[in-house]
């Protein structure tokens, strides 16, 4: 089925273009928006692409306006695609609070009512959105993935579940063990039901134990992060990865909190990490 793309933002940025598009998602059964940065090199031919997944309460806008990533993407010749964090629209189920419903899709395929009708962000990010991007923009089939907080969970989990799809993966302040922390437990119980066996397929700390592809994780975590001890707990992933012989490069950054000042401070390192893998 032919998908109609409506460009709703178009801005020159570091020699390239920062655009935002709207389209009808068949997977999510609603209208969705995504941002794409095309570096100046895309004017001469297709470029590799980095998918960025944002965290709770975010849309496609947060990363493109706060992270300062376009400068580094232009330097390395990489496109960046930023989807929204959940389905949207009046018909889409929602909940009180910031950590469930709209803005909190957790990159899973919901199986429970009322969420199952629209909340299929796993399929959207893995299949529908890349197919759309690769059909309409000058990108090659060389993908990387990264994200922040809930999006860091999504990036690590999607890479583990889809060996061969991504050349590299990284995360900022990821929720590494959603089955063991309040944010994840609330979302998984609502979207997936009470059977914790169903949660394991979306839990990085569980998945890393049986991973068939050992794509190195680059993870940055601020030691002044207000969510570190209760919601993030990166040492759980480090312990599981060490036991499984999985390469994890966990960098603790002194003084940094959970926000985009932290992301902006180290996004250059992450894009260089992905560029090395994408151009190998």
Catalytic site residue 25?
A: no
The reply to whether the predicted model has a pTM over 0.95 is yes
Handedness of CA 84, 85, 89, 92 (dihedral sign): positive
Distance CA 221, CA 230 (A): 14
**3-state DSSP assignment of residue 211:** coil
Contact present, 145 and 48 (Cβ < 8 Å): no
pLDDT in tens, 155-166: 999 999 999 999
User: What stretches in the chain show pLDDT beneath 70?
Assistant: 1-2
The one catalytic residue among 54, 86, 146, 149: 149
189-to-5, 217, 248 alpha-carbon distances in Å: 34, 27, 28
Half-sphere exposure of residue 214: CA atoms within 13 angstroms, side-chain side = 10
Half-sphere exposure of residue 62: CA atoms within 13 angstroms, side-chain side = 20
- Give ∠ CA 73-162-241 in degrees, rounded to 5: 90
User: How does DSSP assign 225-259, residue by residue?
Assistant: -TTIIIII-HHHHHHHHHHHT--EEEEEETT--SS
Length of the chain: 280
pLDDT in tens, 172-216: 999 999 999 999 999 999 999 999 999 999 999 999 999 999 999
* Residue 2, pLDDT score: 67
Catalytic site residue 54?
A: no
| 261 Cβ neighbours under 8 A, 6+ residues apart | none
Distance CA 8, CA 21 (A): 6
* Residue 243, pLDDT score: 97
Question: In the numeric block, which tokens belong to residue 95?
Answer: 């909940």
- Which letter does DSSP use for residue 104 in this model? B
* Residue 279, pLDDT score: 87
- 38 phi-psi bin (left φ>0, alpha ψ -120 to 50, beta other): beta
Catalytic site residue 225?
A: yes
Handedness of CA 111, 199, 103, 148 (dihedral sign): negative
The one catalytic residue among 25, 170, 225, 274: 225
The one catalytic residue among 118, 153, 258, 273: 258
Domains, in order of start, for the chain: 6-278 (3.40.50.1820)
* Residue 1, pLDDT score: 55
**3-state DSSP assignment of residue 133:** helix
């Amino acid at each position: 089925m032919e998908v109609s793309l409506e460009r709703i933002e178009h801005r020159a940025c570091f020699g390239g273009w920062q655009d935002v598009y709207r389209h009808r998602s068949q997977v999510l059964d609603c209208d969705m928006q995504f941002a794409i940065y095309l570096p100046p090199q895309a004017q001469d031919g297709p470029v590799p692409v980095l998918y960025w997944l944002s965290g709770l309460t975010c849309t496609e806008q947060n990363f493109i306006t706060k992270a300062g990533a376009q400068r580094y993407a232009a330097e390395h010749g990489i496109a960046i695609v930023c989807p929204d964090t959940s389905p949207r629209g009046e018909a889409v189920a929602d909940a009180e609070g910031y950590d469930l419903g709209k803005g909190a899709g957790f990159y899973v395929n919901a199986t429970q009512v009322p969420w199952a009708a629209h909340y299929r962000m796993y399929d959207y990010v893995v299949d529908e959105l890349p197919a759309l991007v690769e059909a309409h923009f000058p990108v090659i089939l060389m993908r990387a993935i990264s994200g922040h907080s809930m999006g860091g969970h999504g990036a690590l989990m999607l890479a583990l579940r889809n060996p061969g799809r991504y050349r590299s993966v990284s995360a900022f302040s990821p929720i590494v063990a959603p089955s063991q922390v309040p944010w994840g437990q609330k979302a998984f119980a609502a979207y997936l039901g009470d059977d914790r066996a169903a949660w394991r397929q979306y839990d990085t700390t569980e998945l890393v134990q049986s991973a068939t592809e050992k794509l190195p994780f680059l993870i940055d975590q601020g030691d002044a992060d207000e969510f570190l001890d209760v919601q993030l707990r990166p040492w759980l992933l480090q312990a599981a990865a060490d036991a499984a012989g999985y390469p994890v490069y966990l960098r603790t950054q002194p003084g940094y909190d959970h926000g985009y000042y932290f992301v902006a401070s180290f996004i250059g390192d992450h894009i260089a990490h992905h560029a090395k893998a994408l151009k190998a």
